[in-house]
Amino acid sequence: MSSTPQATAAPAATAAPATVRAPATVAPGSAAAASGSGRERLPIELCKGINGLDKIVLREVRGSSAEVYLYGGHVTSWKNDHGEELLFLSSKAIFKPPKAIRGGIPICFPQFSNHGSLEQHGFARNRIWSIDNDPPPFPTSTSAKAFVDLILKPTEEDLKIWPHSFEFRLRISLSPAGDLMLTSRIRNTNADGKPFTFTFAYHTYFSVSDISEVRVEGLETLDYLDNLQNKERFTEQGDAITFEAEVDKIYLGTPTKIAILDHEKKRTFVLRKDGLPDAVVWNPWEKKAKAMADFGDEEYKHMLCVEAAAVEKPITLKPGEEWRGRQELSAVPSSYCSGQLDPRRVLLGS
């Protein structure tokens, strides 16, 4: 996969229903065949979540699971095979359109943050996505048997605020080892011959034991834009990133692997990404936490957003071109004690 848009010969999308009605257990084997995997696919469960919103549950045989709301194409839960939750979801999250769900993995598209004329973080995170039963084949094979394909296309109302036709396909999968993978494929389907440009982020909220015990490795010495200082550009100093105040930075040209080490939990998250050169690091800290209606006053202590993103250099697609951006998350036990862990091993190990 590449950040370079590619014109591919994938067929036009089959129109998907705007909403999914049947609360049922579905095993869309036809979609597995369409993916070209030829492997047996695990059934997915389609049910009602909070406020009656449609929710999909993915389960791997070893016990890991993930939950995805069609509202926002939003992953709200990712659990390891011990049933431990790995993503932060605010106890005050509002599961009601048009408010985006606070926590999990919101999708920021076609605009990250307020870097443009659209609403903050774009509209994909507060639209109802559909299940895509017949996605075009994936170029690369995967061992995942638990996955769901979603699709978002603009409505007439969307076209008034962002006048571009697109098909946004999102595959969410769990590997047998419990890794969570998100692959986005965005295609320009404009019939008027016009290109469009967008920015993007997987706005992942990691669950951490105590933010003051967390360090992020892989971003040290990089340049970043500081959202708290008028997006001014600075260079990161020091060994690794630790937290003792509000942070809202966009690291530029980051490596494909970033590690988030939770000292107290003895757990390391490894974020791998492709097609997404930037990484946003955000924690609102005490004052902003109190100002957010959908976020508990003390919850900033238990979350950290590290967001695989394409912000500095927006992506332009000509009609017929497709862009792909992928994020893969693993949670591995770490026997981290200050000075004992070689971060290179975390970042270089598979």
Q: Catalytic residue among 167, 307, 312, 321, which?
A: 307
Site for ligand BG6 in 230-269 (CB under 6 A): 248
Closer residue to ligand BG6, CB minimum distance, 125 or 257: 125
H or E stretch at 287:
helix 285-291
The answer to whether residues 113 and 121 touch, using CB atoms and an 8 Å cutoff, is: yes
Vertex 27 angle, CA 52 and 61, to 5°: 95
Determine the size of the site formed for ligand BG6 (CB under 6 A).
10
Residue 278 in contact with ligand BG6, rule: CB under 6 A:
no
How far from 262 is each of 105, 176, 215, 239, 279, CA to CA, in Å? Answer: 19, 23, 7, 16, 18
Site for ligand BG6 in 87-106 (CB under 6 A): 100
> At closest approach, how far in Å is the CB of 175 from ligand BG6?
26
Closer residue to ligand BG6, CB minimum distance, 45 or 223: 223
Please choose, out of 3-11, 113-121, 258-266, 269-277, the segment that lies near ligand BG6 by the rule CB under 6 A.
113-121
Tell me which of 121, 164, 265, 272 binds ligand BG6, using CB under 6 A. Answer: 121
Q: Catalytic residue among 74, 121, 164, 203, which?
A: 203
What stretches of the chain show up as alpha helix (H) in DSSP?
A: 29-34, 156-161, 285-291, 343-348
CA distance 271 to 280: 12
Residue 280 in contact with ligand BG6, rule: CB under 6 A:
yes
**AA letter at 157:** E
241 pairs with which residues across the strands? 216
Using DSSP's 3-state secondary structure scheme, residue 175 falls into coil
Is residue 164 part of the annotated active site? The answer reads no
- The two tokens of residue 302 are 């238990």
Is residue 307 part of the annotated active site? The answer reads yes
Residue 203 in contact with ligand BG6, rule: CB under 6 A:
yes
Site for ligand BG6 in 179-198 (CB under 6 A): none
Per CB under 6 A, residues contacting ligand BG6 are 100, 113, 120-121, 203, 227, 248, 280, 282, 307
Which are the catalytic amino acids?
Answer: 203, 307
